[in-house]
């Protein structure tokens, strides 16, 4: 890789220095006192702000549907499923207890409709219908859930079903739930579902079922636009939620709350505390060309623009200014052909010599290979 070193303040305002976790721990400990475990982090960088028993293995009830949705969105992205595909509901899926949208066996619903009901009203019947379509059976889908959890780094997670209904052995932890929710939030379509508060769900036979969002913070907290609740007698009251203000998006998880009010209060309080204390700054914006162009060999197009694949952000304590360094790493000897969207390098953000964030750099335009005739003309021009 060819490396170009830039100070971040050359691109944006100076980054701020990291804050000690202890500066907010006392308040967070009070907020999470009625929960068995808690975790609070930044979405963009994954920076932990507060944790309580974050790796303790506990039942998480319907929060396991976060992974059900992750695999459903990934199935669409991979081409294994489409939002418009109609799925016929099996007897087993229709017979699921607990929270449901009352699907009828033999009727067909689109994948998008089923995913929406999982996100909004935690429908167990829709979970199983999706699982059976994606993996052939719920058991096969659970194997995929466990494999994906390991890939994401959720080391203290084991799924036994796709709904979170009590079944042994099955567990996760606050940190892992945050990791899984962070993966789900990369799918922008999810927010079309997660922000629905109340809606009539139409069945193919003419019935309607009113679905209501189980995450009350959608209406009660400014910036909250997603998350997942959970409750069983074994798990207690659980909640994983996200909220965004400005460039800052946070994730907060509580497991084992004493009652429903305590889980929402704890998450709201942790959000308030973090938004007041920390902020995110965007160093590179996804899709916006970097300054200058990159030289390409073997193409009539001698230079191309490059863009960041994802936003590159810092997460820092407010008011404590410091300096970050942005390093642009381009592939050596970039040569044609290059297609728009091809990876051509990496942008890495450092603080104190430590990598804190990174994203791929992509070609913003095509650079086709020189034709035989083009090469001949260039040779002749150089000779002259």
Give residue limits of the domains in the chain: 2-15+285-383, 32-280
Q: Is the pLDDT of residue 148 over 60?
A: yes
Neighbour count for residue 350 (Cβ, 10 Å): 17
Say which DSSP state 62 is in: G
Lowest mean pLDDT among 65-69, 99-103, 277-281: 277-281
Q: What angle do CA 26, 30, 31 make, to 5 degrees?
A: 115
* Sign (positive or negative) of CA dihedral 129, 135, 140, 144: negative
CATH number at 2-15+285-383: 2.60.410.10
Report the run of H or E that residue 87 belongs to, with start and end.
strand 86-88
How do residues 76-103 score in pLDDT, each as one tens digit?
999 999 999 999 999 999 999 899 999 9
Q: Residue 26: what pLDDT?
A: 66
Neighbour count for residue 384 (Cβ, 10 Å): 5
Q: Is the pLDDT of residue 68 over 80?
A: yes
Q: Residue 21: what pLDDT?
A: 41
pLDDT above 70 covers a percentage of the chain that reads 88
Higher per-residue pLDDT: 2 or 313? 313
Is there a contact between 211 and 117 (Cβ–Cβ < 8 Å)?
A: yes
Spatial distance between the Cα atoms of 142 and 153, rounded to a whole number of angstroms? 17
Q: Position of tokens 């695999």? A: 71
Is 122 part of the annotated catalytic residue set?
Answer: yes
Q: Is the pLDDT of residue 13 over 50?
A: no
This prediction has a pTM of 0.86
Q: Is the pLDDT of residue 134 over 70?
A: yes
Q: Is the pLDDT of residue 276 over 50?
A: yes
Q: Is the pLDDT of residue 374 over 90?
A: no
Mean pLDDT of the chain: 90
Q: What is the DSSP string of 133-197?
A: HHHSSHHHHHHHHHHHHHHHT-TT-B-SSSS--S-SS-BB-HHHHHHHHHHHTT-TTHHHHHT--
Q: Closest Cα to residue 258, out of 62, 54, 33? A: 33
Is 137 part of the annotated catalytic residue set?
Answer: no
Lowest mean pLDDT among 16-20, 59-63, 356-360: 16-20
Alpha-carbon torsion angle 229, 233, 237, 241, nearest 10: -30
Among 36, 52, 62, 317, the active-site one is 62
Mean per-residue pLDDT for 351-365? 90
Task: Name 209's bridge partners.
Answer: 201
Give the tokens for residue 342.
Answer: 């091809």
Among 65, 175, 228, 317, the active-site one is 65
Q: Position of tokens 């990598």? A: 355
Q: Residue 334: what pLDDT?
A: 87
Most confident of 138-142, 314-318, 367-371: 138-142
Q: Residue 25: what pLDDT?
A: 61
Spatial distance between the Cα atoms of 32 and 239, rounded to a whole number of angstroms? 12
Say which DSSP state 36 is in: S
Q: Residue 346: what pLDDT?
A: 96
CATH fold of 32-280, please?
Answer: Beta-lactamase (3.40.710)
Q: Residue 18: what pLDDT?
A: 37
Q: Is the pLDDT of residue 147 over 90?
A: yes
Lowest mean pLDDT among 211-215, 247-251, 299-303: 299-303
How do residues 221-272 score in pLDDT, each as one tens digit?
999 999 999 999 999 999 999 999 999 999 999 999 999 999 999 999 999 9
Neighbour count for residue 82 (Cβ, 10 Å): 12
Strand residue runs (E) in 16-174: 37-42, 48-52, 86-88, 108-110
**Helices 111-121, 124-135: crossing angle, 10 deg rounding:** 140
Is there a contact between 257 and 238 (Cβ–Cβ < 8 Å)?
A: yes
Q: Residue 304: what pLDDT?
A: 94
Q: What contacts 67, CB < 8 A, 6 or more positions away?
A: 145, 148, 149, 159, 162, 180
Is there a contact between 15 and 9 (Cβ–Cβ < 8 Å)?
A: yes
């Amino acid at each position: 890789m060819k490396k170009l070193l830039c100070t971040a303040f050359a691109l944006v305002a100076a980054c701020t220095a990291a804050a000690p976790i202890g500066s907010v721990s006392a308040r967070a400990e009070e907020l999470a006192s009625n929960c068995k475990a808690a975790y609070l982090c930044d979405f963009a960088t994954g920076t932990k702000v507060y944790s309580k028993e974050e790796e303790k293995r506990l039942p998480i009830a319907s929060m396991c549907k976060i992974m059900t949705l992750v695999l459903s969105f990934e199935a669409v992205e991979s081409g294994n499923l489409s939002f418009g595909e109609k799925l016929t509901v099996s007897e087993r899926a229709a017979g699921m207890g607990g929270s449901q949208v009352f699907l009828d066996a033999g009727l067909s619903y689109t994948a998008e409709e089923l995913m929406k009901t999982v996100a909004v009203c935690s429908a167990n019947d829709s979970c199983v219908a999706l699982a059976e379509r994606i993996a052939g059976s719920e058991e096969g889908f659970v194997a995929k859930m466990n494999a994906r959890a390991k890939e994401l780094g959720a080391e203290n997670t084991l799924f036994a079903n796709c709904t979170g209904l009590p079944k042994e052995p099955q567990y996760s932890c606050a940190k892992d739930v945050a990791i899984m929710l962070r993966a789900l939030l990369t799918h922008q379509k999810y927010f079309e579902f997660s922000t629905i508060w109340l809606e009539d769900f139409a069945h193919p036979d003419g019935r309607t079922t009113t679905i209501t969002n189980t995450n009350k913070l959608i209406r009660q907290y400014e910036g909250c636009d997603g998350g997942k609740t959970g409750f069983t007698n074994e798990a207690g009251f659980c909640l994983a939620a996200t909220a965004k203000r400005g460039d800052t998006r946070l994730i907060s998880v509580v497991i084992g709350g004493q009652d429903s009010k305590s889980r929402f209060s704890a998450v709201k309080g942790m959000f308030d505390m973090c938004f007041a204390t920390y902020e995110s700054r965007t160093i590179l914006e996804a899709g916006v060309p970097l300054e200058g162009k990159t030289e390409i060999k073997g193409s009539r197009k001698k230079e191309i623009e490059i863009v960041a694949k994802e936003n590159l952000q810092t997460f820092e304590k407010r008011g404590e200014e410091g300096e970050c360094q942005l390093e642009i790493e381009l592939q050596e000897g970039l040569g044609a052909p290059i297609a728009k969207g091809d990876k051509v390098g990496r942008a890495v953000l450092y603080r104190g010599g430590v990598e804190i964030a990174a994203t791929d750099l992509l070609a913003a335009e095509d650079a086709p290979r020189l034709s035989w005739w083009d090469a001949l003309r260039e040779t002749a021009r150089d000779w002259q």
